[in-house]
Amino acid sequence: MFKALALLFITLPGFAQDRGLHVSFGDVQVASSRVNVDLRSFTIVKLVESKRVKVGLIANSVQWVRDQSNLLFPRALLRIDIENPSSSIHVSSDGTTFLPQQNDQLARTEIYVNLFNPGVIEIKEGEYTIGKYTLYARQSGSGKTKLIDYSCAPYQLQFEGLDNDYMSVGCRMERLGNWGHERPRLMITWSTTNYTLKDGTRPPFRVSMQENLPVLLTLVDPNGREQKVTIKAQLPKRLHRLKTAVGFGPYQFKSQSGTEGRPNRLAGAGMLYGRLDMTPSSSLRVFDAFVAEKSLFNNAGFYFAYELADALDSRIEIVPLLGFQALYFKYDSNHPTRNGIILPQGAEVVYKNAFGFENHTMVAGAFFLSTSNEKYQNIWLRWGKKIFWELNYISWESGQNHASMAGLSIGIPFLNLF
């Protein structure tokens, strides 16, 4: 639809100093990116021009945002000035109408434009169009133009074609089928500059993948040249709700009962982890930590976890943990066994794709309980993906009984069910 528009390209400087009214629209949130977008790569294209209208992209206004479909895209402020305006001046972009600030000499507004899918910006005075514009992105020679979001990392997503064009891709995994027999459907949303489908349909485009078959399509650039694109991904056969892992490692173990005590000794420790996903943001969790070296200490817990808040483009989550624990302690055969239920509460902070490592997660968490006759602490730091490392410190004290364990363990996936 924009065939041969390259002959009409213009770049209008002079709009980088002061700011007018910034207008935004749509349900988006500020997000992070891994691609630098240079506004000098984008040229304003005149479809309908008027000497009364001046438009220009504002320097240093690029902002990455995420929409409801989980797609990251860059937007920038486009400044629009209309000389000698009437009261019927308005600007239309992406189905939304904006009314500028104005006086007798000048009408002005600044609107955010999606750089990867700018559409057409139309300035109208009453029923007459006095300006119509779009953007064209020049190809980059650096090759650093593809933003495949962290949400796609687990599925080995690949795009073939569009090698030097700007592109952004986001993913969302959905569950199909009955509970306990669910299969995956990967929803891929993506957008690129300059290209449409053959019938003129503009991005963003959506792909539904339910098996490991490629997606083949043909795009068309503004000059009518065709571009073949292939999309591939690797999906799991099943989506399990219950995931378990086992852990083991060397720990320092300290125990005391009455006047007798054993200082820190090296002991073998074993762990069991379980997580049952209820919804995308809530789960039931269980754990068990066991250590023995002459004395024996076992700590098990059952908790409901839910995502309370997130930050930094949802890469950091705060997760409260609400539940109870069971304790078992036996100093030796000459001392009575202590066991019971305690109610420490806690939370953890989850850092996804930590420090730029795709699919790696860092988790820092703690449980605390402090009463007049019983004290409990459980602090952990976990790092990894399927296989993970965990630093853990657990301390329990009740009357004249005390046990503590601290060390490093490795966690390995065990059974996945349902």
With CA atoms as reference, report the closest residue to 317 among 282, 285, 277.
282
Query: pLDDT digits over 170-184, tens only?
Result: 999 999 998 888 999
Average confidence (pLDDT) over 198-218: 91
The DSSP element (H or E) to which 144 belongs, if any, is none
Instruction: Please state, as a whole number, how many other Cβ atoms lie within 10 Å of the Cβ of residue 53.
Output: 22
The pLDDT > 70 percentage for the chain reads 91
pLDDT digits (tens, 9 = 90+) for 286-310: 999 999 999 999 999 999 999 999 8
Among the ranges given (10-19, 180-189, 232-241, 330-339), the one the predictor scored with the smallest mean pLDDT: 10-19
pLDDT score recorded for residue 38: 84
- Is a pLDDT exceeding 70 seen at residue 325? yes
Whether 126 has a pLDDT exceeding 70, the answer reads: yes
pLDDT in tens, 72-118: 889 999 999 999 988 899 999 988 999 999 898 999 999 999 998 88
Show the tokens assigned to 23. 């207008």
Residue the block writes with tokens 């988790």: 363
Q: Where in the chain is the domain with CATH 2.40.128.100?
A: 242-417
For 100, residues 6+ apart whose C-beta sits below 8 A from its C-beta are: 21, 80, 82, 85, 89, 90, 91, 107, 108, 109
Mean pLDDT of 136-159: 80
> pTM, whole model, 2 decimals?
0.77
How long a stretch of residues is the chain?
Answer: 418
Sheet of 146-148: strands edge to edge?
146-148, 167-176, 183-192, 205-209
Return mean pLDDT, the chain: 87
Strand partners, 302: 286, 324
pLDDT at residue 47, rounded to an integer? 92
Q: Return the CA Rg of the chain.
A: 29
Give the span between the Cα atoms of 219 and 228, in whole angstroms: 6
Residue range 242-417, CATH number: 2.40.128.100
Q: How far apart are CA 316 and CA 14, in angstroms?
A: 40
